[in-house]
Structure 1
Amino acid sequence: MRQNSTGRRLFHYALLYKKTIITALVLLTFAVAAELTGPFIAKKMIDDHLMGIESPWVEVGKKDNEAVLYNERYYKKSSNLKEDDAKGDANLQIVQVGRSFYVTTEHLTYDGERLIQNNNILTVSTGTEKATYEVEKLSQQELIAFYQPEIRPIILLLGFYAGLLFIAALFQYGKALMLQKAANRIIQKMRTDVFGHIQRLPITYFDNRPAGKIVSRVTNDTEAIRELYVKVLATFFTSSIYMTGIFVALFFLDAKLALITLLLVPIILIWTVLYRKLASTYNHLIRTRVSDINGMINESIQGMPIIRAFQRKNQSLKEFETLNEEHFIYQNKLLSLNAMTSHNLVNVLRNVTFVVLIWYFGGQSISAAGIVSIGMLYAFVDYLNRLFQPVTDIVNQLAQLEQARVASGRVFELLDEKGEVVDEGELPRYEGNVCFDHVSFSYDGEHEVLKNISFQAKKGEAVALVGHTGSGKSSIINLLFRYYDIEKGSITIDGMNTRDIPRQQLRRHMGIVLQDPFLFTGTIETNISLDNPVITKEQVIKALQDVGAQRFIEKLPNQYDEPVLEKGSTLSAGERQLISFARALAYDPAILILDEATANIDTETEAMIQQALNIVKEGRTTFIIAHRLSTIRNADLILVLDQGEIVERGSHEELLNLKGKYYQMHQMQLGKEISQVG
């Protein structure tokens, strides 16, 4: 059922560019038809012109281009006679015996083994029957004279076939170009769909999936599907049309033998089904290992400083070699399957077919009636030889077909993941009054990380969240951004339940600065505006000035157009954080979240940001997650969390006077020895 669904969806993508594909198939049909005229033309040349001189020759009264002078009389091949030709009484028939040609005035009633006796007696025997004829040997000049009328038709046929091949080459070029174009368009659309869908996937999807594995589906798997459209389907289309044309031609030549050769079609279909079952397991394992390898490479590159610092190079190499060796083993098993079957199958089919051909023509066609011509035999052998090329192409593409099918399943599995609804509507900038009302939350549905959280943050206030690691600080921010939805309690902004606000509109008026800022490849300006046309360069500059980043930017060679490499590797941690601050401020959020935003910044830079924040937090609600309590001294409300619960709340001075957990944390950071409270 899954395979059928995958096939239908691949077909649906192909339908998006059906005009191009249909045009390519029409061109292919004409090209195949032009190519397949070759054996017919060869048959006509052999039977009608090369071997045609053995046809009966009739005496005519006058000379023309088709008449031959022999013994002072003009003769024409019976097939070339016209209505106005004056026929005489004499008839001839030319007979080839070995490499010599003889002429007789009698007509051979049947054909068989030919033998010349006494230089002028021809004996034709087949089975128990024997006939004799009186003959006269033709000289070389006389033989050339009988062939002379055939030269022009042969040249015309050769020229006609050469013209057809030229046209076929043009059509084949057009077919290949259009199929490639359609395939590239299909994969372009598919990759866009996959990448766009990744943008809509909820954060939960990425929690337990390495980035490299997701990247593998967007790149490696879609590339395998591209090969499906470019090579596999193109081969199947080409081979199917080619085989159809050959079978049509065989039916014209001999319907009985054509029916026998049709047995190849169910054999190929049965083999395709069996092969897919045998190869499916290996292909699944191969694609999985490719995904694992991508995931590990991505992780190793990102963690290279740690690998070097803790001397994990050899261990990482061993882990990679293990995955690489498993990939090699499964690839070899698949290659062994292909080697044992694909070429052997074609050879067996080819040999069996030629045995049937020999039996059929040898045992039944060579009879006393002499109905089998050399041209017919040549055409059949030529068509059968041509028939096995598309058979070989189809069998050789079965491995690629199975790989593409597995890759398609992985891509469509990702596309089937439920994404968030994208609502492009506009939500007026809200005031920023946030209320958590008895909110409880669990990531896994069993263990609650937040328990009965209630608090209010009014417009213009700064609310700080403090607590030990795992106390639930970041979970509160995740719920505010609706990265996850709650089942107990409610979260409102300006009285509106966040679950009733589309995620995109909700986040449009929020800004966040993370502890480890992420910078994109581009320039400093594009990292702040994120190419949003609404944000002008003047706004970018003002945001940078507000956070105090102007000092280091003025020292850069290109200033605001200074290139930024991946993750901002050429900038210091403090500089990256300042750019991250400026990005959040440039979007003028109603709610600003600082998630350990000053943890990696030196004291001087932190002082600059603190001064800037006193200016920019006016008119917006600010949430601050911090371990360094010095950064939240001026917060309007401090919430102390412990194991998912708010255990203390108040201002800095109020919490210090409580002598509770906040007081302990404060004293520990000051380096004073305190006694355990409670």
Structure 2
Amino acid sequence: MAPHDDEILGKAYDSRLMRRLIGYLRPYWARALVALAAIVIGVGFQLAQPVLVKRAIDQHIATGDLRGVGVVALLYLGTLLGAFVAEFVQTTTLQMLGQRIMYDLRRQVFDHLQRLDLAYYDRNPVGRLMTRVTSDVDAINDLFTSGVVSVFGDVLSLCGIIAVLVSLDWRLALLTFCVMPLILFVTQWFRRNVRESYREVRTWVSRLNAFLQENLTGMSTVQLFRREGRALDEFQRVNGEHRDANLRSIYYYAVFYPAIELIGALSTALILWFGGGWVLAGTLTIGTLVAFIQYAQRFFRPISDMSEKFNLLQAAMASSERLFGLLDTPVSVMDPGTGYGVPGTATATAGDSPTPHSLGVSPPKPKAKAGRIVVDDVSFAYTPGVDVLKHVSFTVEPGQRIGIVGATGSGKSTLINLLLRFYDVTSGRITLDGTDLRDLPLAALRSHFALVLQDVYLFSGTIAGNIRLGRDDISDARVREAAQAVHADAFIRDLPQAYDTPVAERGATLSVGQKQLLSFARALAFDPQILVLDEATSSVDTETEILIRDALHVLMEGRTTIAIAHRLSTIQDMDRILVLHRGELREAGTHQELLALRGIYHRLYELQYQSHAPATAVATGDRG
């Protein structure tokens, strides 16, 4: 597979990225301070424990004066309880902090994803974007819960232990520190290999997500063409690579931690060997020796912890680089003067662009629209230099019904995408009642339209919820009236819970015709000024097509209508028909006028209505 951005690792520490990450911590600085205080207090209690052991041995046990042992034991118990409380406060505070930061970050990422233009989704697989919102945000959560604050505790603990060791006995301190070259060697080996292993794991996680998303979405095609075996083989390959990458990571951890323990045991052996001799020689107390062994064991724990946190830091840097790369992706289809794709949805968080108010710019208020559309010398290319539309011009008067026909790739659906500003024109302009679409707020522009697609998209929820799509101002009565008007009410009432019937993902439990009728009810409930249809009567039986055509008449009444058609019978009674061919507007007129021209439209008509013509002569479902 070709490399992609999931293989980005970047630096182990990037100050620019870290400053931006710390920005998400600022709203919760009080919680961070509480966690920091708990860490400091917990380190203090842990450092006090070996000192109390030394005191009990040297001042009481070694001298035979056991009267103070009970007091020391109580103090020791107090440090254990204090360390427990500090650890509890630290853990709960940091976990809650991480969850809040994850919430903020995911919200910001999803908000930005909603504002990105459709061209971005043409370039980026959905599986990869899912990895951004899930796994990458999880990696940053680990940084906040186990890294950026708690690493301070490791550093403080390490510095405190070094200071106490030197103050107790500099000779034993040197013995403890003499194994540091081994520690550094093992740690460097671990970091280098785990870094590469982590890169592999992240890469295969993203590829696994992308593969699953693609194949589960296209399961009907997989089963129809009997590709289950090949799909399973490919999944096993990707899944196996992911497993192997994790196993390699486990190997490095399995070597590192026992190696640290072994080096720690070697240090303890040196302390016992030399310290025992010094105790016998009378130059060292046995309490100091015992305390030293306890401190030595504690000395290696923060070192191994910081090595682990290095990997968390590495993971967070890689994930933040990818996330901020996504967040910094410019929104090419924006509201005028705001820099936002959908006004009012942005959240002021670290790294965001300024809000419209902070710029001192107010989006223009849309006037009452009549619905006159002018396409003025419009050209458009998905790929620079390869025009899909070429100098197209036409006018749609208010209340006029326009049909658009043409072969696959002629630019029909592209024209609709430009009209709704899913993309912006490469050259020329499109106006709505004299105002360039690029000068209208997106929400206001799209509120004038209802789009009924050939492939109806339904969301999980209920039937009524899919008609109103979250609009609180659309009442239940209005939902029912819209459904009755387009003949959807009859099948809805036959469902187990009528309008409250749950809808499966993408409406899997409904027929194509039922979903089409629901999309008409949705459009009518929103009461659009301009209706856009993309082959709305395709792939249904004759009886349902009659219902749909009747529903279309209800929908089109009093509305400007633009209809893409592959079946010419659906647009014969339109006021005007536009014929696109290879991105150019080649013919325009009524059905009879176009037949009289005996041009492209006439050929399309003959292909569809000649009894021996192949049924697939005119292709459907084009991107153009």
Q: 1:146-165, aligned counterparts within 5 Å?
A: 147=64, 150-165=65-80
- Whichever of the two has the greater Rg, that structure is 1
User: Could you tell me which residue of structure 2 aligns to residue 554 of structure 1?
Assistant: 493
CA apart distance, 1:509: 1.8
Shift in Å at residue 475 of structure 1?
Answer: 0.7
* Matches for 1:285-324 after TM superposition, within 5 Å: 285-324=200-239
2:62 pairs with 1:35: no
Structure 2: gaps (5+ residues):
1-9, 335-339, 345-362, 618-624
The alpha-carbon deviation at position 506 of structure 1 amounts to 1.7
Q: Paired residue for 1:333?
A: 248
Amino acid at match of 2:285: S
Tell me the CA shift for residue 17 of structure 1.
1.9
Matched, 1:225 2:140: yes
Select the structure with the greater relative contact order (CA < 8 A; seq sep ≥ 6): 2
Deviation of residue 177 (structure 1)?
Answer: 0.8
**C-alpha distance in 2, partners of 1:161/1:586?**
72
User: Per the alignment, do residues 360 and 235 of structure 1 end up closer, same or farther by CA in structure 2, a change over 3 Å counting?
Assistant: farther
Unaligned runs of 5+ in 1: 53-146
Match of 1:427 in 2: 366
Residue 614 of structure 2 is aligned to residue 670 of structure 1: no
Q: Which residue of 2 aligns with 1:622?
A: 561
SS at match of 1:153: helix
- Cα deviation digits, residues 57-100 of structure 1 (max 9, x gap): xxxxxxxxxxxxxxxxxxxxxxxxxxxxxxxxxxxxxxxxxxxx
> What is the match of residue 120 of structure 2?
205
Q: 1:403 aligns with which of 298, 315, 330?
A: 315
Going from structure 1 to structure 2, the CA distance change for 1:189 and 1:310 (only over 3 Å counts) comes to: same
Q: Which residue of 471, 486, 489 maps to 2:425?
A: 486
Cα distance change on mapping 1:260 and 1:540 into 2, 3 Å: farther
CA contact (8 A) 1:283 1:406 kept: no
TM superposition shift of 1:668? 2.1
1:282 is matched with which residue? 197
From 60, 74, 85, the equivalent of 1:49 is: 60
State the alpha-carbon separation in 2 of the partners of residues 281 and 194 from structure 1. Answer: 27
TM-score by length of 2: 0.86
Matches within 5 A, 1:1-16: 3-4=13-14, 5-16=16-27
- Given candidates 500, 503, 513, the residue that maps to 1:564 is 503
Residue 589, structure 1, aligned to residue 528, structure 2: yes
User: Would the aligned equivalents of 2:260 and 2:300 in 1 still touch at CA under 8 Å?
Assistant: no
1:560-603 CA distances to partner (integer Å, 9 max, x unpaired)?
11111110111111111111111122222222111112112332
Corresponding position of 1:646: 585
Q: Is the 8 A contact 1:272 1:398 kept in 2?
A: no
SS in 1 for 2:399: coil
**Distance in 2 (alpha carbons) for counterparts of 1:245 and 1:15:** 28
Please name the residue that 1:241 is paired with. Answer: 156
Q: Which amino acid aligns with 1:283?
A: Y
The one-letter amino acid of 1:212's match is G
- Percent same amino acid at aligned positions? 39
Secondary structure (helix, strand or coil) at the match of 2:25 reads helix
SS at match of 2:587: strand
User: Could you say what the CA RMSD is over the residues aligned between the two structures, in angstroms?
Assistant: 2.7
Deviation of 1:366 (Å): 5.9
- 3-state SS of paired residue (1:36): helix
Distance in 2 (CA, whole Å) between partners of 1:221 and 1:479 is 33
Q: Report the Cα offset of residue 223 of structure 1.
A: 2.2
Question: Please, which of 98, 102, 124 is the counterpart of residue 183 of structure 1?
Answer: 98
Q: Could you tell me how far apart the structure 2 residues matched to 1:14 and 1:328 are?
A: 34
Q: CA deviation at 1:355?
A: 6.3
Q: Using the TM superposition, give the Cα deviation of residue 275 of structure 1 relative to its aligned residue in structure 2, in angstroms.
A: 4.9
What corresponds to 2:302 in structure 1? 390
CA offset at residue 260 of structure 1? 7.3
Contact 1:346–1:392 at 8 Å: present in 2 too?
A: no
Letter in 1 for 2:232: L
Deviation at 1:334, TM superposition (A): 3.2
**Paired AA for residue 10 in structure 1:** L
1:58 maps to none
Give the residue type in structure 1 aligned to 2:379. Answer: S
Give yes or no for contact 1:437–1:454 (8 Å, CA) kept in 2: yes
The 3-state SS of whatever aligns with 1:7 is: helix
Is the alpha carbon distance of 1:212 and 1:603 closer, same or farther for their aligned partners in structure 2, counting shifts above 3 Å?
Answer: same
Does the CA contact (< 8 Å) of 1:429 and 1:590 recur in 2?
no
Q: Is the 8 A contact 1:276 1:402 kept in 2?
A: no
C-alpha contact 2:479 2:521 (8 A) present in aligned 1:
yes
SS at structure 1 position matched to 2:369: coil
Distance 1:151 1:243 in 2: 33
CA contact (8 A) 1:667 1:673 kept: no
- Aligned mate of 2:289, from 377, 397, 410: 377
Corresponding letter in the other structure for 2:411: G
- Cα distance in 1 between the residues matched to 2:387 and 2:289: 83
**Superposed counterparts of 1:434-583, under 5 Å:** 434-583=373-522
User: Structure 1 residues 526-535 or 331-340, which shifts more?
Assistant: 331-340
TM-score using structure 1 length: 0.79
Q: Compared with structure 1, are the counterparts of its residues 654 and 448 closer, same or farther at alpha carbon in structure 2 (3 Å cutoff)?
A: same
Q: CA deviation at 1:633?
A: 1.4
Deviation, structure 1 residue 35: 2.6
- Contact residue 524 and residue 560 of structure 1 kept, 8 A: yes
Q: Which moved more, 1:285-294 or 1:11-20?
A: 11-20
- Equivalent in the alignment of 1:63: none
Count of residues paired in the alignment: 576
User: Which residue pairs with 1:113 in the alignment?
Assistant: none
Distance 1:9-1:277 versus aligned 2 partners, 3 A rule:
farther
- Secondary structure of the equivalent of 2:329? coil
State the match for 2:539 in structure 1. 600
Amino acid at match of 1:413: G
3-state SS in 2 of match to 1:17? helix
**Cα deviations by residue, 1:246-271 (Å, 9 ceiling, x for unpaired):** 23432442356557757888987887
Structure 1 residues 266, 614: CA separation in 2 closer, same or farther (over 3 Å shift)?
Answer: farther
Matches of 2:76 and 2:102, distance apart in 1 = 38
Instruction: Specify whether residues 277 and 629 from structure 1 end up closer, same or farther in structure 2 by C-alpha distance, changes over 3 A only.
Output: same
Q: Could you tell me how far apart the structure 1 residues matched to 2:28 and 2:72 are?
A: 39
